[in-house]
Amino acid sequence: MTLKELESKKEVILSIRPEYVKKIFSGEKKFELRRRIWRDSSVNMIYVYCSYPVQKIVGCFNIAYICEAPILDIWKMVKNECCLNKKDFLSYFDFQEFGYAIKIKKPVEFSEPIDLKSISKKAPQNFCYV
C-alpha cells in the first residue's frame, strides 16, 4: 500500500446496540442499516461503538459496499441478513423513502475494548469521523 492510499483511508465510528454488535461479530448480521450516513465517499472502515451499557469501541469492519435505495428495495436485498423482521425494519426507517444498507466485510472484535474518550469527546449519536 502506498502512502497516498494510506492517507486516503477514512474511518467512522458507528454507535450500534449491544444485541446487534454480537450478531455482527458472530457473522449472523451481514448488513448494517442506516437512515443517513456520512458524505465522504472515501470512508472504508467502521469502528463499532457498542452503546449502553457497554459504551466502548469493541471492534471494526470494512465496508464491502453501501447501497442507497428505496426502503422496500433495501428490504428485498437484506431481509435474510439484517437480523430484523419486516415490522421492525419498517419501524426503524419510520416512513423514510430512502435508506442505506452497509455490507459488512471482515468484522474483527477487539480482545480489549477501547475507551471512547481516547478517540472522541463524546459518543456518536449516529456516526462520527475518526
**pLDDT digit string, tens, across residues 13-39:** 999 999 999 999 999 999 999 999 998
124, pLDDT greater than 90: no
More confident residue, 40 or 108: 108
pLDDT at 118: 74
How far apart (Å, rounded) are the C-alpha atoms in residues 73 and 67?
10
Rounded mean pLDDT, 85-99 = 95
Mean pLDDT value across the chain? 89
> In Å, how far from its chain's centre is CA 61?
8
Q: Phi and psi dihedrals of 19, rounded to 5?
A: -65, -30
Q: At what angle do helices 86-93 and 71-78 cross, to 10 degrees?
A: 140
Looking at the domain 8-129, which fold is it? 2.30.130
Cell numbers 449472523: residue: 28
Task: Report yes or no on whether pTM surpasses 0.85.
Answer: yes
* Domain ranges for the chain: 8-129
3, pLDDT greater than 90: no
